[in-house]
Amino acid sequence: MPRAGEGALRVPPAADALRLTACPKGFYSLRFSASGHGTMAERFDAIVVGAGPAGSAAALTLARKKFSVLLVERGRAPGAKNMFGGRIYAWPLFDLVPDWAKDCPVERLVTQERMAFLTEDASLGLALDSPKLAEGKAASFTALRPKFDAWLAKKAEEAGAMLVTGIRVDDLWREGGRVKGVTVGADDRVAADVVVIAEGATSTLVRKAGLKADLEPREVSVGVKETIELPAETIQERFSLGEKEGAAFVYAGYASLGLRGGGFLYTNKASLSLGLVISSEDLARKKLEVQDVQTKFRMHPAVQKLVKGGKLVEYSAHLVPELGRRMTPQLVGDGVLVAGDAAGFLINNGYTFRGVDLAMASGLAADEAVEAARTAGGMTAANLAAYERCLRARNVLTDLEAFARTPLFLKNERLFDIYPRLLIDLAERVYRVDGTARDRLVATVLKEANASGVSKIALLLDLLKGARSM
Amino acid sequence: MVVCIKQVPKAQELQVDPVTKTLKRVGVPSEINPPDQNALETALALRAKLGGEIVVISMGPTSFDESLERAIAMGADRAFLVSDRNLGGSDTVPTALTLTRAIEKVGDVDLILCGEETTDASTGHVGPGIAGHMDIPQITYCSSVDIADGRVRGVRMIEDGAETWEVHMPCVVTIDFGCNKPREPTLTGKIRVKRGGLITHWSAADLGLEPSQIGLKGSPTIVAKVDTVQLPSRQGKIFQEDPAIAVSLLLEALRKDRLIA
């Protein structure tokens, strides 16, 4: 009997050989039939990279217009790798999914707008309660991205787009300066007439397409959010809301510890979204960790009043492109265009944050551009230039340009530190009755301004700049 | 080439139901049994070298489609799932028989690859069982497989080394766990899956199996009991003092317990 040993060649004993000849199939040579694998790459009219609001909106409309569309998402499911504050302004949904109100995963419709300036222990606020806020096209609602993104991507699938998840596109497939499709690893390529880059704020494809240089720290803020579970009845009682109603809070001043940025709080059905958006540059300069700033913010008495009793169930973060129109990359190339956060389509003007609506509108515009290019004979940069016109017609570029000055204005440090404190000190002084001699209002204001150390000229200029950019 | 696979609960996320004391399978993330992934990778490497078609076969509930889709996305050409209420409760004997009938129904099979065993049952019976039913040679625990001159050569891992075996086709080869790095699904593969038509479901009747041959009725063994072991709590002591003092106290305690000299 042969012994086991390293490398010893074992051959079955003669009996087996006999059995083999009796084997009904009786083949001794390898029969490998031609494999079903073609060497031709799969091909689509359009490939959309990223199944966030911009990508799904583009895929949905393109599929509706009978383009063959591949929607590729790197997460396990659309929304798995996404988060925001947040609130969605619904106006593009009326075009995108006209019956959106039927099954869109709305948390609460916003009927209350709140703005508060904070110092360490005080807050001064503005409150707007109006049914007009939730009326018609002006409606906005709080949402949770895993649910919303999944819903919108499903609509795209229902319209005929092919959704593939769990795949990260490495690079664009380029030939002679033209984009021909996408590549994932060396041998895995899919062809398309046009690629829509909807990868989000950290898009690498935009750089690889040569449409934008690397992100710089001054161009991004860090957005963080704590999801705090609280029963729906408690939320409704504490915020004086009806069952479907919601509140949106914006905080300035101590919320970000004087760093450029601000805080927010949104009411979801049975949770609160509490968070901050802070300049990356400032965090680095002051050597602060964003989660520490968040904790201090959460511990502020004005915030504690609203979140107490809640259970922290999730902590998430996201890069926020901050410079608006000034950082928009080139929007089109031969066979390619850019939508959503990847194109920097976000507006933060201090009292409102818009991103998802702009993303969806840019998806709609992308489809219009692709249709125009098809009619004009091909997906060249020249033909796709219709994209900019469409973005303008949908007020995406127009709004971004109108607020183009805001990001720079918001970079004025006095806004985040001195002015909130000035306002609160002023208000505290105005409301204080303690038996000491009282000044009239104007005198009080001037005394406070002097005490704050800001020159009257600087104050006046800041007021002017603020008014012009808002 | 046929690769037999099984869908199992993800190893890191194994949960035991505290009431029934059995493995939770519903609602727990699943994966292709890792040794089966090694088997599929072996098949893909062989196809790259020699051509041919890879057919993946599995037996289980329709939730196993998830694994068959992944196998196709990794590169397999098509897949068959034998799914039937009557197969419930099958041990490895009817499982091997069912897979054998499925392989025979596919037809023209040269090489059958299986993982060495599953992570959720660890019997290692099914591959050899198929070889037994089909009366063909088997090489188990192979870390590498090659085909030359119409013969299959497998390097078989044993405790103190490796044996090299050479057998005629058709044959069964079971693959050593961890012997290769299973590739990731490709975009092209996932598109093929989405286009559809690559997974076929068969019932027990489609394979000519009688109820007496399968399920609990056809199983010579049953799982009588699944026990979870409670680890005994360990004695422990924490020295809270200043590090320098804590170290001396620790050394003293170790000496007192005669753990160090």
Question: Tell me, what's the pLDDT at A38?
Answer: 54
Distance CA B96, CA A127 (A): 71
Question: Tell me, what's the pLDDT at B206?
Answer: 96
CA distances from B20 to A309, B15, B16, B90, B226 (A): 36, 12, 8, 19, 9
Which of B 200-259 lie inside 8 A of A, CB atoms? none
Q: Quick one: average pLDDT of A188-197?
A: 96
Place of tokens 């970000």: A256
Structure tokens at B209: 């199996």
Contact B51 A35 (CB under 8 A): yes
Contact B190 A4 (CB under 8 A): no
The SS3 call for residue A93 is helix
Give the number of A-B residue pairs with CB atoms closer than 8 Å.
97
Q: Closest to B158 (Cβ–Cβ): which among A4, A25, A185? A: A4
Question: Tell me, what's the pLDDT at A466?
Answer: 67
Residue of A nearest to B52 (CA): A32
Distance CA A263, CA A353 (A): 11
Identify whether B170 is preceded by a cis peptide bond (ω within 30 of 0): yes
Distance CA B80, CA B104 (A): 12
Instruction: Tell how far CA A116 is from the center of its chain.
Output: 24
Place of tokens 């998840």: A165
CATH superfamily of B2-213: HUPs (3.40.50.620)
Distance CA B72, CA B55 (A): 9
Distance CA A397, CA A27 (A): 70
End-to-end CA distance of chain B: 62
At A214, the pLDDT band (50, 70, 90 cuts) reads: confident
Q: Quick one: average pLDDT of A343-364?
A: 88
Residue from A68, A70, A164 to probe the interface with B (highest B Cβ count within 10 Å): A164
Residues in B closer than 8 angstroms to A38, CB to CB, are: none
At B5, the pLDDT band (50, 70, 90 cuts) reads: very high
pLDDT tens readout for residues A409-438: 566 666 677 777 888 888 888 888 888 777
Contact B166 A11 (CB under 8 A): yes
Q: Say whether residue B78 is in contact with chain A using an 8 A CB cutoff.
A: yes
Rounded to 5°, the CA angle A9-A10-A14 comes to: 135
Distance CA A462, CA B1 (A): 75
Of B74-78, B214-218, B227-231, give the lowest mean pLDDT range: B227-231
Distance CA A165, CA A87 (A): 25
pLDDT tens readout for residues A72-81: 999 999 999 8
Of A148-157, A342-351, A410-419, B38-47, give the lowest mean pLDDT range: A410-419
Task: Write down the domain spans for chain A.
Answer: 40-93+145-212+329-394, 407-469
Structure tokens at A366: 């992308």
CATH superfamily of A40-93+145-212+329-394: FAD/NAD(P)-binding domain (3.50.50.60)
Residues in B closer than 8 angstroms to A70, CB to CB, are: 191
Q: Indicate whether B192 pLDDT > 60.
A: yes
Beta bridge partners of A401: none
Q: Closest to B51 (Cβ–Cβ): which among A12, A19, A32? A: A32
At A450, the pLDDT band (50, 70, 90 cuts) reads: confident
CA distances from A300 to A112, A354, A458 (A): 21, 26, 30
Residue from A3, A16, A23, A32 to probe the interface with B (highest B Cβ count within 10 Å): A32
Residues in B closer than 8 angstroms to A24, CB to CB, are: none
Question: Tell me, what's the pLDDT at B225?
Answer: 79
Whole-structure pTM value = 0.85
The conformation of residue A460, written as its DSSP 8-state character, comes to: H
Question: Tell me, what's the pLDDT at A319?
Answer: 86
Q: Indicate whether A443 pLDDT > 80.
A: no
Is the Cβ–Cβ distance between A203 and A168 less than 8 Å? no
Q: Which of A243, A222, A224 is nearest to A234 (CA)?
A: A243
Residues in B closer than 8 angstroms to A27, CB to CB, are: 110, 150, 169-170
Question: Tell me, what's the pLDDT at B176?
Answer: 95
Q: Say whether residue B101 is in contact with chain A using an 8 A CB cutoff.
A: no
Q: Which of A37, A58, A38 is nearest to A47 (CA)?
A: A58
For residue B142, which phi and psi values (nearest 5 degrees)?
Answer: -85, 135
Q: Closest to A164 (Cβ–Cβ): which among B164, B165, B190? A: B190
Q: Say whether residue B45 is in contact with chain A using an 8 A CB cutoff.
A: no
Distance CA A174, CA A199 (A): 18
Q: Indicate whether B103 pLDDT > 80.
A: yes
Structure tokens at B131: 């070889």
pLDDT tens readout for residues B113-156: 999 999 988 999 999 999 999 999 999 999 999 998 889 999 99
Residue of B nearest to A27 (CA): B169
Question: Tell me, what's the pLDDT at A414?
Answer: 67
Structure tokens at A329: 């990359």
Of A278-282, B93-97, B187-191, give the lowest mean pLDDT range: A278-282
Residues 6+ apart with CB under 8 A from A450: none
Question: Tell me, what's the pLDDT at A16?
Answer: 38
Contact B187 A27 (CB under 8 A): no
Question: Tell me, what's the pLDDT at A25?
Answer: 37
Structure tokens at A270: 């049975």
Beta bridge partners of B139: B173
Task: Write down the domain spans for chain B.
Answer: 2-213
Q: Quick one: average pLDDT of A150-163?
A: 98
Q: How many residues does chain B have?
A: 261
B186 min Cα distance to partner chain A (Å): 6
Question: Tell me, what's the pLDDT at A411?
Answer: 60
Residue from A10, A27, A163 to probe the interface with B (highest B Cβ count within 10 Å): A10
Place of tokens 């870390």: B143
Q: What is the ipTM of this complex?
A: 0.82
Structure tokens at A404: 């183009």
Distance CA A312, CA A274 (A): 10
Q: How many residues does chain A have?
A: 470
Q: Indicate whether A20 pLDDT > 50.
A: no
Contact B170 A184 (CB under 8 A): no
Residues in A closer than 8 angstroms to B194, CB to CB, are: 162-164
Q: Indicate whether A15 pLDDT > 80.
A: no
Three-state DSSP string of A102-119: HHCCCCEEEEEEEEEEEC
Contact B167 A12 (CB under 8 A): yes
Q: Say whether residue B162 is in contact with chain A using an 8 A CB cutoff.
A: yes
